[in-house]
Amino acid sequence: MALAQALAHERRLEHMALAHVGDVASEAAAAQPLITAAQPSTMAAQPGITVIAMGGTIDKDYPRSAGGYAFEIDEPAAGRVLSELPPNVSIEHVIVSVCRKDSTEIDAADRQALCDAVAKVPPGGRVVVTHGTDTLVESAQALERSGAAHGKAVVFTGAMRPERFRQSDAAFNLGGAVAATSLIPTGTVAVCMGGAVVDSRFCRRDEQSHRFVDTRWGP
């Protein structure tokens, strides 16, 4: 009799333990954030990319003039990169050339022209700005302050080596920037270089490593 009572008590304890585990699992599942993947129909509905070219290293090419020795800023490299994609990964795009300058030569008038070009993009638009790396952050922050990016996702990018060169980082950075425009919140102006995406408000270029870093996570 005592043995039967002991076994029954043990079974009750097991049932109670299993019920507790189930409750904990349910609570944990409810506490997890809901992560939703983009459905094909949603992805298909996304607008194409507007690429605004400001010149810079990404667009530089070998000199064409006889006896020339300095690199020349050519047509926007983004057009070549995006047009050469295979059909299954191609993306609709429009190229807008604002200026063809080394970024050290970009002035307030050029930045105003950039803001005007972004303002013309319809709400919900995705914008990639190709720019020289020396003053890329300054232009991105100027655009953010202007309010022209309101309702749009804007990502700045560039290259350390011209797109025309072998082992250039241009296509890698451009691809990252295009992807980032579909991930960042609208109204954001971000910088995408070297695989990192940084909110322009907290971005700076480290002079030693030449990387674009987030000031919130370090000096």
State the average pLDDT for the chain: 81
Q: Is residue 53 included in any domain, yes or no?
A: yes
Q: Is residue 38 included in any domain, yes or no?
A: no
Mapping DSSP onto H, E and C, the string for the chain reads: CHHHHHHHHHHHHHHHHHHHHHHHHHHHHHHCCCCCCCCHHHHHHCCCEEEEEEECHHHEECCCCCCCCCCEECCCHHHHHHHCCCHHHCCCEEEEEEEEECHHHCCHHHHHHHHHHHHCCCCCCEEEEECCCCCHHHHHHHHHHHCCCCCCEEEEECCCCCCCCCCCCHHHHHHHHHHHHCCCCCCCEEEEECCEEEEHHHEEECCCCCCEEEHHHCC
Give mean pLDDT, residues 198-217.
88
Q: Is residue 104 included in any domain, yes or no?
A: yes
Q: Is residue 123 included in any domain, yes or no?
A: yes
pLDDT tens string 51-89:
999 999 999 987 766 555 567 898 999 999 999 999 888
Q: Is residue 182 included in any domain, yes or no?
A: yes
* pLDDT higher than 90, residue 208: no
Q: What residues are designated binding site?
A: 103, 133-134
**Residue 148, pLDDT score:** 98
Domain that holds residue 191: 47-217
pLDDT tens string 21-58:
344 333 333 333 222 233 333 333 346 999 999 999 99
pLDDT tens string 148-206:
999 999 999 999 999 999 899 999 999 999 999 999 999 999 999 999 999 999 998 88
The residue from 36, 42, 50, 57 that is catalytic is 57
* pLDDT higher than 50, residue 97: yes
Q: What CATH number corresponds to the domain at position 72?
A: 3.40.50.1170
As for how many domains the chain has, the answer is 1
**Residue 33, pLDDT score:** 29
Give mean pLDDT, residues 108-123.
97
Is 57 in the active site? yes
Q: Is residue 156 included in any domain, yes or no?
A: yes
Q: Is residue 128 included in any domain, yes or no?
A: yes
Q: What residues are designated binding site for substrate?
A: 103, 133-134
**Residue 52, pLDDT score:** 98
Q: Is residue 90 included in any domain, yes or no?
A: yes
**Residue 69, pLDDT score:** 54
